Structure 1
Amino acid sequence: MHQGPQLLVSVRDADEARAAMRGGVDIVDVKEPAHGPLGMADPHVIASVVEAVTEHDATRCCSAALGEVSDWFETCAVPALPGGLRYAKLGLSGLGRSASWCREWQDVRRRFEEASSGSWEWIAVAYADQQAADSPRLGEIIPAAAEASCAGVLIDTFDKRNGDLLSHLIAGELGEAAVQCHASGLFLAVAGRLSVASLSELAGTGCDVVGIRSAACEARDRQAAVRAECVAAFRRQMIEVFAHAEDRGDWRRQPGAAGNTGH
């Protein structure tokens, strides 16, 4: 098995999940891109993806996007999530000026846990385009994630029309985030319109998970379908680029840091 980061692909249904698995994905992430950067799919869709993954290869794991914390304020009923999820995540957009964002985040997390019979680990989400998202800063989110016993931190982009992850954070900043995460026992996942061209910069950062959707879809259109051949091509390039960086001593991922991801 390759020693680089794990590959996460966001899928919108069971058919896309099967395509991603044929392409060699490590983590199947369920979301509905039409509903926003962390748009939640219908619970029955999440359940069908979990079932498809379990039937195909029980060693792989599933994660689910649950929208933004602000989507679930007290007037909104929280649905029960199906069993079989390994990770779940909530966005923090619109909470950048809220002194109580951490409490609000944990309250919504608790409501999902109480509504559901299964259990999972949480991934905290930091938006690289923090001002566009009006979200808390990365420097606030990492310690909050550790305090809240999260498994990891995802750095993603909020506005998919305004550049990729590396348009907002340079590789050195991602590397510092990785150091902080690993020191706190967290893994670091990165996403945000990443492409094969992004890999050389990511390879020196120490990230543990690389997440894609656009690069996994036909014509790099995140609203199009995930294609197995696109996933496989990205995975091959990721393994090659990260292996080359490791040979040069550029890759700073700490041993065992990705062990928290369960693979």
Structure 2
Amino acid sequence: MTRMLASVTNAHEATTAIQAGVDLIDLKDPASGALGALPLTEIQAVRSVVGGRHPISATIGDLPPAPAETADAIAALRGMGIDYVKVGFFSAAHLDACLPVIADLSPTQAIVAVLFADTETARADLEPFAKAGCAGVMLDTADKAAGRLCQHLDLATLGQFVARAKSLGLMTGLAGSLRITDIAALQRLGPSYLGFRGALCHDGRRGRGLDPQRLRAVRQSMLRHSLAELT
């Protein structure tokens, strides 16, 4: 069954997401980029609130293709007990520079590689990520003003991504300005997670706080479509 990921920016939002029944709490600063990183103090505050009740993922930031900087950022989160560390692959240079880092660190930290539907990594070969020890791969969008996931890649291509990742034993995620109207079609592809931020916020704006009503609506829609697939 496809689970729901909600990106939050602080402990209050994490509590709101938990109350709505979200499966995975994702720590991200939307004001700092597609995978903007939260301060470590804020991450610690969220961990205290979640208290092990839900898995937590956290981004390392929109970093350049720099092995040492990437390794340091992953190591900092590893020391905080984060379940999944998300690393962005924005270019071919990131693939060359950062996959060896993941291969070194994946034995001690579950890492999810994030590819971007609006960049050259959208159709990257997934096998190197599996060989590097990634726990999963995710498709997102880098430029939120340039279109949503489903505007960059059609359902057939997204389905191929999910199927290929599954064949390699990788967890899968789809995100990128997803709307509640995207849920039915995307859930049928069978990803491990659908990720949301803007759709959960006041006025649908990712820079604003989470709206409990929007959260519940997305959560109920996901549950409804999951039940429909079982019947």
For normalisation by structure 1, the TM-score amounts to 0.79
Partner SS state of residue 138, structure 1: coil
Q: What letter is aligned with 1:151?
A: A
Who is 2:123 aligned against? 138
Partner SS state of residue 19, structure 1: helix
Who is 2:162 aligned against? 178
What's the CA shift for 1:72?
Answer: 4.9
Q: 1:65-112: per-residue Cα shift (whole Å, max 9, x none)?
A: 11134175557993522422100111122x33x3xx43411355479x
Partner SS state of residue 144, structure 2: coil
Who is 1:259 aligned against? none
Q: 1:223-243: per-residue Cα shift (whole Å, max 9, x none)?
A: 000123321210101111233
Q: What letter is aligned with 2:121?
A: P
Within the alignment, does 1:25 sit opposite 2:19 as a pair? no
Alignment partners' CA distance in 1, 2:66 and 2:21:
34
Q: 1:21-49: per-residue Cα shift (whole Å, max 9, x none)?
A: 11111100001001100001111111111
Question: Counterparts in 2 of 1:217-232, with a 5 A limit?
Answer: 217-232=201-216
Partner SS state of residue 89, structure 1: strand
Indicate which of 211, 220, 226 corresponds to 2:195: 211
**Preserved contact between residue 85 and residue 112 of structure 2 (Cα < 8 Å):** yes
Who is 1:49 aligned against? 46
**Preserved contact between residue 17 and residue 215 of structure 2 (Cα < 8 Å):** yes
Alignment partners' CA distance in 2, 1:238 and 1:178:
18
Indicate which of 139, 148, 153 corresponds to 2:132: 148
Indicate which of 114, 119, 127 corresponds to 1:125: 114
**Preserved contact between residue 72 and residue 108 of structure 1 (Cα < 8 Å):** no
Give the 3 Å change call, closer, same or farther, for CA 75–177 of structure 1 in structure 2.
closer
Within the alignment, does 1:102 sit opposite 2:89 as a pair? no
Who is 1:261 aligned against? none
Alignment partners' CA distance in 2, 1:149 and 1:73:
16
**Preserved contact between residue 69 and residue 105 of structure 1 (Cα < 8 Å):** no
Gaps of at least 5 residues in structure 1 are 248-263
Within the alignment, does 1:196 sit opposite 2:180 as a pair? yes
Indicate which of 38, 50, 55 corresponds to 1:61: 55
Alignment partners' CA distance in 1, 2:117 and 2:16:
29
Gaps of at least 5 residues in structure 2 are none
Alignment partners' CA distance in 2, 1:211 and 1:77:
25
Indicate which of 70, 74, 77 corresponds to 2:64: 70
Q: 1:139-192: per-residue Cα shift (whole Å, max 9, x none)?
A: 32x112111111111100111012211001111111111111111101110001
**Preserved contact between residue 175 and residue 194 of structure 2 (Cα < 8 Å):** yes
Q: 1:208-251: per-residue Cα shift (whole Å, max 9, x none)?
A: 1010001111111100001233212101011112332444xxxx
Who is 1:34 aligned against? 31
Alignment partners' CA distance in 2, 1:222 and 1:29:
14
Q: What letter is aligned with 2:26?
A: D
Q: What letter is aligned with 1:160?
A: K
Q: 1:108-136: per-residue Cα shift (whole Å, max 9, x none)?
A: 5479x59xxxx530001110112xxxx43
Partner SS state of residue 115, structure 2: strand
Give the 3 Å change call, closer, same or farther, for CA 122–76 of structure 1 in structure 2.
closer
Identical columns (%): 29
For normalisation by structure 2, the TM-score amounts to 0.89
